[in-house]
Structure 1
Amino acid sequence: MVKLTDFSDDPSRGLRLLPEWALIRKVLYLGSFVMLAMLTQYFVNAADNLMVGRLDDPAEATASQAALGLGMPLYWAVGGFFAAISYGAQAMTGRRFAEGEEERAGQVLFNAVFVALIAGALGGAVGWFSGPYAVDFLAEASEEQKQLGTVYVQLRALGIGAMVVTFAFKAFFDGIGRTYVHLVAAVVMNLFNIGLNYLLIYGNEPLGIPRMGIAGAGWASMIATYLGLAIMIGVSLAPRYSRRFKFFQLRNFDPKVITNIIKLMLPAGSASLILMSGFLLFFKFVGQIDADMGTGNTYSAATKALMDTAALCFMPLLAFGTATATAVSQSLGAGKPNLAARYGWDSVRIGVLAMIPIGIVFWVWPEQIISLWAPNDPAVPAAGAASLRLVATCLPMLVVAIILSQSLYGAGANTYVMIAEGVLHVGCLVPLSWFLGPHLGFGMEGMWTAAIIYVNGLGLAMGGKFLAKGWRSIEL
């Protein structure tokens, strides 16, 4: 079987529209498993929005979706910061694996899990105790949004520890090219979550289960996260992994490895925190528009629907970015920096080609797409249609931003990604969305215009860095 690093280290040959299919087949193979895993993970979260949007009371459904608009970014702001342990662990695992040091790759997992247990417990405590204060600050649309958001955030915080440890295992398996392992866990999680959502959100009188609404969604998603972790642990205990990589041995404890994991985690986690904080302030400003216009939770629910629709593009791109990060890290470990660069650019090419038809669909049928999320309140699709058309215009640059940022993580350039994210959020997305939205009165369209400018800026920042060659010489 041809390995990721079995290709030549020749530099890329000028500007090309189509990728090298021999390379892209390897990325597509790895990325297909990651994509399916991420999409199923996405549906664990999207199922909450889809199912509370179908509550019998339209007012409760819209308020619940507005609450989820705050709850999910808050969950990922805290959980994503600590789960960023995966970026360093994957990059280090990929390097060691490509160097033929399989036991040292296993050592990375042992120390990553050690860090994840501590980080996950800390993250869960931070999420539980800070969640109510964060929701109180951010909820602008209605009192119902505030109350429902607090309940959901605290329930999801109870699952942050499981998520962080799961990401440590995922990083190892992705780093050695076994991207299908997390897919198995994600599929089982998703099916379990949907079934439990149905029982807890709507209730089941014959089984004695009360109707819990958004609280039921929180319980179901949290429990499903622990199930996913149990599956990842079970797979890692299989002899074909435990005997080969010898990761569950106390002699693997190494403060130097732990230090390197944390050094790579902190900038990546900070970038995730900055990203989610920007989105949360974005939701806060949308809530101000709802409050100023007296539209209840309509624009907030529409924004949540837009975010979930955009995530259908974001998650596959993130999957291919993760697969590309594995190819980049293994290529660098094998001493082939030009091959690493070719993997990055070819992934961008295939991503752009894939986004063109999706952008056309977003442009032609925006209300119909948003109606899938909010079928019981026609005001929500009408409020978000123009903004979804704006989203369609930036999909090519979204490809560049996501895939190349993940590729830079694979190379170890985590600090650069953090700085670029921070500058663009603080200097562009947050102030510009407030200025064009609540301040000048351009509404949701003004705010999403700011988001489009941010995406284009991020794409240019990631593209410029990857085009330079400094990332090729980073030591891990």
Structure 2
Amino acid sequence: MELTTSYRSIWKVSIPIIVGSAAQNVVAMTDSVFLYYRSEDDFAAIGFVAAFYIIVAAVGFGFSRGGQIMIARYVGMNKPAEVGRSFYSTVYFELALAVAVFLFMTYGAYWLFASLVDSDVIFYKSLEYLETRKWGVFASYLGVACIALYTGIARPVFIVVDTVILAITNIFLDEALIFGRYGFPEMGIAGAGLASTIAEYVALAVFVAYMIGDRKNRIYLRGKLPRYDPALIREIVGLSVPIVTMSVVGLGSYFFFTGLVENFGPRALAVNNIIRIAYLILSIPAWGFCTGVNTLASYFVGRDERRKVKVVLWRTVALCLGVTLLMGLPIILFPRQVLYPLLGDERVYLIQAAYPVFWVLLGILVTFSFASIFFNGLIGAGQTKKALIYQTTCAVVYMALIFVVVRSGWGNLTVAWSMEIVYWVLMFGLSFRYFRRPRWRAA
């Protein structure tokens, strides 16, 4: 594999990842859309509990990013045997982690939700969803390990196919299990959780079947399974812990935000979920480019070509901003017309109530495109501890601002969402400052 700093090379790595990295966003959005048609209570509840489950998924994905960075670095160093060892070590750790997270969701989620939610309806519906959704954590965590391999070796095309299979399966099962169609039982919000869980197992089975038949990856995955390698796992975990902590801090701050929004009332939580659906759709390109930057930055660091990293960052920002605005402007300028085919007129008053926040969303997307790329370039370059410091600093400022806005008499949902612009501006400033150092300057 030979990568360059060209736009074509960035597209080659990033575009399949953009689709593949949308997996959890697609699942969360599909569940939300179907529950939107069922009842406002179900729709409000999924907005809360899905934010929690995305954190669960992000923990597994974050640890897989450490494996991805190691894999990409060994590819740059032309050490295929080490690529395979890194992949299997990632699989072993993800499986152990899935057991731990499953136990937390089984025995700890009740107390966590009780401390955050005031509404009994939202509380019990969230637990009902999680009861069936928690079983999917094993498929999710093993799936991201497979994605880490194909992303790290810059062959992410099949990730697109697998994500499409995941989405189609989830859509069919959501309709079947939420509303009791095609001979399936009507399970409501619990059906949404079960549908997503089954869809993840189907997607994992397809991915594993593809890997077994893929001759090109046999240079990395030779012979029998290697033994558990504590030293390599510690190295991967050392890279991953700051990434996971960053994910938990970042998504946890949004979960904190969602919990506080309930103080504006259940209706505000439902409106917030409308905005979240739009944000999930529009942030897909940026997260895909971020993962691509992880691979590219790690690859050039492995080849001792650090000066090329900053070139890749600016070019990726240009692509990310262009694609994001191309997708985002129609939704932001004409939200009712664009979202109507997706959400219909069942609760059109929720879309109307969200209008003011869509303009704030435009500012978020612009600052997000710059900040997320530079920040993930920092991670790909192996500076995960520094990135953790930056993320934590920004999250603390963000949560403090959110708390003031929600608890004050003048605060509202629009002002609360605008605090995310402050978050991303601060994140970009810190990350950009790091890459101004001489060793990152292009020749």
Candidates 29, 33, 56, aligned match of 1:50: 33
**1:24 counterpart residue number:** 7
Say whether 1:36 aligns with 2:16: no
Q: CA deviation at 1:242?
A: 5.3
Structure 1 unaligned regions, length at least 5: 8-22, 56-60, 291-296
Report if aligned partners of 1:400, 1:463 keep a CA contact under 8 Å in 2. Answer: no
**2:151 counterpart residue number:** 174
Which letter does structure 1 place at the counterpart of 2:363?
A: T
Which letter does structure 1 place at the counterpart of 2:154?
A: G
**2:46 counterpart residue number:** 68
Which letter does structure 1 place at the counterpart of 2:367?
A: M
SS at match of 1:85: helix
**1:350 counterpart residue number:** 319
**2:351 counterpart residue number:** 381
Report if aligned partners of 2:364, 2:418 keep a CA contact under 8 Å in 1. Answer: no
Q: Distance in 2 between matches of 1:35 and 1:468?
A: 30
Q: Distance in 2 between matches of 1:374 and 1:287?
A: 24
SS at match of 1:237: helix
Candidates 314, 330, 333, aligned match of 1:364: 333
Please provide the CA RMSD for this pair.
2.1
Change (3 A) 1:239 1:389: closer
- What do the CA deviations read for 1:136-179 (whole angstroms, capped 9, x no partner)? 22223x32211111111232221112211111111111000111
Matches within 5 A, 1:82-93: 82-93=60-71
Q: Distance in 2 between matches of 1:313 and 1:239?
A: 33
Q: Distance in 2 between matches of 1:25 and 1:378?
A: 42
Matches within 5 A, 1:97-112: 97-112=75-90
Q: Distance in 1 between matches of 2:73 and 2:227?
A: 17
Q: CA deviation at 1:256?
A: 1.8
SS at match of 2:11: helix
Q: Distance in 2 between matches of 1:198 and 1:239?
A: 34
Say whether 1:150 aligns with 2:119: no
Which letter does structure 2 place at the counterpart of 1:50?
A: V
**2:381 counterpart residue number:** 411
Matches within 5 A, 1:179-258: 179-204=156-181, 207=183, 209-238=184-213, 240-241=215-216, 243-246=218-221, 249-251=224-226, 253-258=228-233
Q: Which moved more, 1:370-379 or 1:326-335?
A: 370-379
**1:321 counterpart residue number:** 290
Change (3 A) 1:187 1:248: farther
Change (3 A) 1:169 1:248: farther
Q: Distance in 1 between matches of 2:345 and 2:25?
A: 20
Taking structure 1 as the reference length, the TM-score comes to 0.87
Q: Distance in 2 between matches of 1:287 and 1:370?
A: 24
Say whether 1:261 aligns with 2:244: no
Which letter does structure 2 place at the counterpart of 1:103?
A: A
SS at match of 2:410: coil
Say whether 1:459 aligns with 2:428: yes
Report if aligned partners of 1:366, 1:386 keep a CA contact under 8 Å in 2. Answer: no
Q: Distance in 1 between matches of 2:369 and 2:208?
A: 32
Determine what percentage of the aligned residue pairs are the same residue.
22
- What do the CA deviations read for 1:388-420 (whole angstroms, capped 9, x no partner)? 111112322100122222222221122222222
Q: Distance in 2 between matches of 1:363 and 1:239?
A: 42
Matches within 5 A, 1:258-297: 258-290=233-265, 297=266
Report if aligned partners of 2:285, 2:320 keep a CA contact under 8 Å in 1. Answer: no
Q: Distance in 2 between matches of 1:229 and 1:170?
A: 10
Which letter does structure 1 place at the counterpart of 2:18?
A: M
Change (3 A) 1:410 1:369: same
**2:414 counterpart residue number:** 445
Report if aligned partners of 2:140, 2:200 keep a CA contact under 8 Å in 1. Answer: yes
Q: Distance in 2 between matches of 1:66 and 1:468?
A: 46
Q: Distance in 2 between matches of 1:62 and 1:225?
A: 26
Q: CA deviation at 1:284?
A: 1.4
Which letter does structure 2 place at the counterpart of 1:414?
A: T
Taking structure 2 as the reference length, the TM-score comes to 0.93
Candidates 371, 395, 403, aligned match of 1:434: 403
Structure 2 unaligned regions, length at least 5: none
Change (3 A) 1:270 1:237: same
Q: Distance in 2 between matches of 1:368 and 1:469?
A: 49
SS at match of 2:37: coil
Q: Distance in 1 between matches of 2:360 and 2:288?
A: 24
Q: Distance in 1 between matches of 2:28 and 2:213?
A: 29
**2:275 counterpart residue number:** 306
